[in-house]
Amino acid sequence: MQATIQFKLNGKPTRLQVDGSRMLLWVLRTDLGLTGAKYGCGEGLCGACTVMVGKEAVRSCQIRVQDVAGKEVMTIEGLAKNGKLHPLQQAFMEHDALQCGYCTPGMILNAYGLLLKNPRPSSAEIIAGMDDNLCRCGAHQRIVQAIQSAVKGGAR
Ligand code: FES
Ligand code: FES
C-alpha cells in the first residue's frame, strides 16, 4: 500500500510516496538512485546491501522501507564528509582491501557499525564482527588489515 514515509537519508530529510512493504535496498537503489548498497543474495546472508539505520549496520534487503520511518539512514554515499573520505574508506584504499569492490560498501559500513560499538576492537573482534560479510574475491585479510589500521588511526 502506498504511504508517505519520511526519514533522514545521509543527513537530509527525505519524504517518499512508496509502498511501505518494499525492501529498503530497492527503494534506495531504484527510487533514490543510491546504488552504493549492492544486491548480493537478497536473503540477509552476504552483507553487500549493508547500510546504517541509526547506530546499527543493517541489511537493507531485509528491512522494509516503512520500518525506517522517522529514523536516520546512512548509505556509503553519506560516509565521506565535505569531500573527505572517512578514515575507513581511506584505509580500504591504502590497503587495497578490495578486488572487484562489490562487497566494499557493505564491508565499510559494517566496520563503521562495529567501531561505533567498540572503537578499539582486537583483531579477533574485528574478524568476528566482519565474519558474516562475504567477499567472493577473497580480500578478507586485507579488509581486516584496513580496519586494524583505521582503528590505530582512531577512526570511528
Ligand atoms: S543482499 Fe542483503 S545480505 Fe545479501
Ligand atoms: S572485492 Fe569482490 S566481492 Fe569483495
| Ligand 1 atom nearest residue 50's Cα | 2
Give the distance, in angstroms, between the CA of residue 14 and the centroid of all CA atoms in the same chain.
18
The reported pLDDT for the residue numbered 59 is: 98
Distance 3 CA to ligand 1 centre (A): 25
Q: Write out the chain's pLDDT in tens, 156 residues.
A: 899 999 999 999 999 999 999 999 999 999 999 999 999 999 999 999 999 999 999 999 999 999 999 999 999 999 999 999 999 999 999 999 999 999 999 999 999 999 999 999 999 999 999 999 999 999 999 999 999 999 998 776
C-alpha to C-alpha distance for 20 and 5, rounded to whole angstroms: 7
The reported pLDDT for the residue numbered 86 is: 97
What strand order describes the sheet that includes 72-74? Answer: 12-19, 2-9, 72-74, 50-53, 56-59
Closest C-alpha to ligand 2, atom 2: 100
Distance 48 CA to ligand 1 centre (A): 5
Distance 133 CA to ligand 2 centre (A): 10
